[in-house]
Structure 1
Amino acid sequence: MQIATREFVYILDVIQLSGKAPHLWQEILDVIQLSGKAPHLWQELGNFLFNNCDILKLGFSFTSDTSIIIHSLPHLSFNQHAGFLDVLSLWKQIEKNPNIKLPYEVQSGGPSLSTLVHLCLGRPLDKSDQFSNWEKRPLRQSQLEYAALDAYCLIQVYDVLKSCSEAVGFPFDDTCYNLMSTTKFKKKKSKTPTKSQR
Structure 2
Amino acid sequence: MRKLSAFNPECQAESVSSKALVALERVSQAFRVMLWNEGKLYGLSPIQIQLLTFLLHFPEEKRTVTFLAGFFNMTKATISDAVKALESKSYLTRKVVATDSRSSSLHLTREGKAIARKVEKFADPLHNIIDQLPGKEQGLLLEQLQQVIQQLSSEQILSVQSMCLNCVHYFKKKGHYCNAFKTSLTNAELRFECELFESGF
Which TM bucket (shorter chain)? under 0.3
Q: Which has the higher helix share?
A: 2
TM-score (norm 1): 0.24
Structure with the higher strand share, 1 or 2: 2
